[in-house]
Amino acid sequence: MAETLLKESKLKLVFDNGVDGEGKQLFKSKTFSNIRLDSTPDELQSAAQAIASLSQKALYGVERNDSSDVQP
């Protein structure tokens, strides 16, 4: 049976960047690499809030992007 091995995790912060001339919502994002593989969702949310407090733009969302290897 195959299994997956988590090899990398990234944290992406998405910020509200206003609206364009047609009223369409704009977003800006910043991705942080080398996130601890065993980070909990609460830890990631706390880190995102701390980082966002340094920005002038409002935090819209937080994403965790994991990469895994599939082993036979």
pLDDT score at 21: 95
Check if the beta carbon of residue 2 is closer than 8 Å to that of residue 68: no
What is the full per-residue pLDDT of the chain (72 aa) written as tens digits?
899 999 999 999 999 999 999 999 999 999 999 999 999 999 999 999 999 999 999 999 999 999 999 998
Q: Which amino acid is at 43?
A: E
Q: In which element (H, E) is residue 4 found?
A: strand 3-19
- 3-class secondary structure per residue, 15-26: EEEEECCCCCEE
pLDDT score at 12: 98
What gap in Å lies between CA 41 and CA 58, rounded to an integer?
20
